[in-house]
Structure 1
């Protein structure tokens, strides 16, 4: 029983620092467990008490990284944590806020509009790396340096 208490205290210590997905918490606790069933029981208890929540983890992940990355990159990061696809889709920002994020990221990285085709391609690659889809990239390149009233036209 001492090992379970030690496992419980380790899990509480990890969760007190930041939100974690069940998969991440399981991975971090695995070296300290004698039996994987101990981890399963502990994670079940934590989920029942709402001490650990994959939904809360997904929301905090999107909140912390959503101002820098697009839906594709955010979804990939959440999939790496083995979250359910419905949880991922519910946590992701909507398309209109993604467009605003792409414009802001583009203006921050490139202070002025791309002067030639090569610069435009460089800006598009930058946004693609950040996880924005093609339509959002086209919109951001077209509208990022226009007046705000014209953005959603």
Structure 2
């Protein structure tokens, strides 16, 4: 339990030293260990001094998830769960400018090395579900499946 704002601030800086956190994540982590401390004042001080930034967190998170082969839908959902504003998410995606179709195709080709038989609907459904679970849109999935069957 943190007794003072200074202890809470030091704990938050320790968390931020390991990785970027959104403001909501920090608030949730500190709230479980603080009772009589104004957490928002601590978080405002961290943001003012540049230790915590939702914009920096969002950009870092998007880069990391793209590198893991996740799509727009899943990344956006996770950012919203972490308390990031929709406008900030849209601006971060716009500045990142990923080519979702190329990313989807790269992921698909890494996962599935064999060609897709056009008559095997069960396998096609399985592959489409995999791509959907990774957060790609139906247009991106259709593009990838069409490429896998040689239809481009």
Task: Indicate the TM-score class for this superposition, using the shorter chain for normalisation.
Answer: 0.7 to 0.9
- Report the count of equivalent residues: 145
Tell me what 1:137 maps to.
141
Q: What is the DSSP-based 3-state SS (H/G/I as helix, E as strand, rest coil) of the residue aligned with 1:60?
A: helix
**CA drift at 1:63:** 0.7
Within-5 A mapping of 1:2-21: 3-21=4-22
Q: What is the DSSP-based 3-state SS (H/G/I as helix, E as strand, rest coil) of the residue aligned with 1:66?
A: helix
Structure 1 unpaired stretches of 5+: none
Structure 2 unpaired stretches of 5+: none
RMSD: 2.0
Within-5 A mapping of 1:1-153: 3-35=4-36, 38-67=38-67, 68-92=69-93, 93-94=96-97, 97-115=99-117, 116-144=120-148
| TM-score normalised according to structure 2 size | 0.87
Q: What is the DSSP-based 3-state SS (H/G/I as helix, E as strand, rest coil) of the residue aligned with 2:32?
A: helix
| TM-score normalised according to structure 1 size | 0.87
C-alpha contact 1:112 1:145 (8 A) present in aligned 2:
no
| Of 113-122 and 130-139, the range deviating more from structure 2 | 113-122
**CA drift at 1:145:** 7.5
Q: What is the DSSP-based 3-state SS (H/G/I as helix, E as strand, rest coil) of the residue aligned with 2:84?
A: coil
4+ aligned runs moved over 6 Å, structure 1: none
